[in-house]
Each structure stands twice: as structure tokens, then as C-alpha cells.
Amino acid sequence: MANDPSTPEDPDNHKMPLLDHLIELRQRLIYSVVAFLACFLAAYYFAQPIFDFLVEPLKKVYEGQSGRRMIFTAPTEAFFTYVKVAFFTACFVSFPIIAAQIWAFVAPGLYRNEKKAFLPFLAATPVLFLLGTALLYYVILPFALKFFASFEVMAGHGAMPIQLEAKMSEYLSLVMTLIFAFGISFELPVLLTLLAKVGIVSAEALASKRGALGREAARCRRGRGGRGRACAEARGGAGGGRQPAAAGRRDGLQPVAVDDGQIQPRSIRLPSKNNV
């Protein structure tokens, strides 16, 4: 089978010793690190324009108002803020190159059908991430910043003015956290599809879980859950249901059984005189 020329895509036809695999891995890592460093240096050179682009939604909130500014309260804050901007930008820009190196290292060990199965997901990952970040930047972030800025208090009527002066580092942390949150949430279709192809999850299982959780939550909100223990777990165990009766007691007394809100009487066996 190893010498069969009719199956050139069979990974068994291209077996490599362990040392060759390590050499190939080192080469791919070198390419990835060099690409990241090149992107980092280029991004640091344009760090201030990139940061201005990230601050643009905040500028639009204060459009037409004079005297607005951003501050930094530590001597090194502005420098490290630009370093973080360059780092995040380098991660985004160099991801296609790093992903291509990972694929070049893994692809020779995959069969043709496996390559066809995984390659679309590898291409869809950066596209979906960019869609998530675009939704945040152009839709969600302007509304969020406008909401946060609405807590300002102007001077007058004896009130002390409260004005927003955003710090560079804190604003960047907020924006990057939201970018990662929205980008990763947009990757859920890729993750679920891969898990379905592997066989870990299925569409029927996900639909059944969603329906069961929704029905149980609705029962618990109405306060008439059919099973008290499930509602107790949904409410965090704070008085959500009756505790199951104990199996027995040391003194020989059998407690009554509680079943779906109805008390079922049981016979009570008193201790004998010999045991008193």
C-alpha cells in the first residue's frame, strides 16, 4: 500500500522520521515569529494613528464640544499603551500567516477528505472574527460610549460637575476586551460545526437541550415547577424545592414520603421494649 502510486494523497506514502518533523516544526515556528515581529514593528510605527482609529467612536460622542481630551496618569502609560496597540495589531495582521504555517505543517498528515473538511473552517475563522469586530466598532461601541457618557453632571444648581476624562490604558483595555468578546462569540458556528463533524454534538441534541432548559426555566419562573429539585438547582438551591426524604432513621421511625407535593402516609414502626 505504501508503494501504491494510485494514492499520492495518502499520508502513509510520505512518512517522515521524528527528527524531520522537529526540523519542519522549527522552520514553521521561525517563519511565524519573524512574521509577527515584522508586523509588530510596523504596527508600532503606526501606533498613534491606529489608536486614533480606536478612539474615533469616543470622538463622535463629544463631537462639537471643545476642551475634550484623554489623559494618562503615569509616565510610562502612553508608551505601554502604544506597545499594546502594536501587539494586538500584530496578532490580527499576522494571524493569516501563522495559520498558513500551521496548516502547512499539519496538512501533509491529513487525508484528502480531511483537508477538504478543515480548510473552509480555517478560512472562515478570520472572516467571522472581523465581522464580530465590525459589529462592535460600528454599531455597539458608539451606543455603549454614549450611554457611559450620559452619567456626566454639568455644573449648576449647586451640583458639582462630573466630567469624563478617559485614560488611555483603560479605554484601550475596554475596547480590546469587547473586541475579543465579540470576535470569539462569532466563532461559535465554526466551533459547533467542528464538534458536530467529530461527533461530539449534534443538531438534535442542541435543540433538545435548548427546549428542555427553556421549558424548565419557564416553569420555575411561574413558581409551579413539576419537579422541585430541578427548580431548586435552577434557582441556586435557595428554597427552590423540597429536599428528598431520608431513607431511614436510627431510631427505627420511618418519615413520611413527599412525592410531587402530596404526602403519602407510611406505617410507623415503634421501637420494641427490648431496645428501650
d(CA 257, CA 244): 8
Give tens-digit pLDDT for 104-155.
Answer: 888 888 888 878 878 888 888 889 999 999 999 999 999 999 999 988 888 7
Mean pLDDT is lowest, of 93-107, 178-192, 208-222, for 208-222
The Cβ-side half-sphere exposure at 144, using a 13 Å CA radius, reads 12
User: Whole-angstrom Cα distance, residue 185 to residue 177?
Assistant: 12
User: Is pLDDT at 244 greater than 60 in this prediction?
Assistant: no
Largest CA distance in the chain: 95
Q: What does the alpha-carbon distance between residue 213 and residue 263 come to, in Å, rounded to a whole number?
A: 28
For the full predicted model, state whether its pTM sits above 0.85: no
pLDDT reading at 159 higher than 90: no
> With contact defined as beta carbons under 8 Å apart, do 153 and 161 qualify?
yes
Residue-averaged pLDDT of the chain: 78
